[in-house]
Amino acid sequence: MNDLAERVALAFIAAINRHDVDELAGLMTPGHNFVDSLGNVVEGREKMRAGWAGYFGTVPDYLITVVETFCEGGVVVLLGVAEGSYAPDGELKPENRWSTPVALRADVTDGLVAEWRVYADNEPLRVLMRKG
């Protein structure tokens, strides 16, 4: 199971990095849960399809670089860096670039991501969002 779970989690990251919302949705269970770093939960594949599309519209160059991966059964933990530019108007500006360490936890069930949990300090992005 470890090998499959790791492949699915890495495919999920690859889809995020390509901003491929359809691929992301295809890798989610229908009852998929997304848990952000503040503990907020979004339930359901279709809600997360819309959520990812909205996020990619705001951070059009969002990228996750994975440095380490750990697997146990269907649980995969990925450590690395998340980065991008806050661009609510679609314009990438160097002063709106941010980067933060990230830990991600994927719960993989039957070859699909049942839960995607993000642990990151998103304050750099929140500061840019408050500036407008």
* pLDDT for res 64: 98
Architecture of the domain spanning 2-131? Roll (3.10)
How far apart are alpha carbons 82 and 99 in whole angstroms? Answer: 6
DSSP secondary structure letter of residue 53: H
CA dist 110 and 28 (Å) reads: 10
Q: What is the pTM of this model?
A: 0.92
- 8 Cα distance to chain centroid: 13
- Is pLDDT of 130 > 90? no
31-88, pLDDT tens digit by residue? 999 999 999 999 999 999 999 999 999 999 999 999 999 999 999 999 999 999 999 8
Measured CA distances, 60 to 81, 87, 96 (Å): 16, 7, 12
pLDDT-derived band at 132, boundaries 50, 70, 90 = low
- Using one digit for the tens of pLDDT, what is the confidence trace for 83-122? 999 998 888 999 989 999 999 999 999 999 999 999 987 7
> In the predicted model, is pLDDT for residue 1 greater than 60?
no
* Rounded CA separation 131/106 (Å): 32
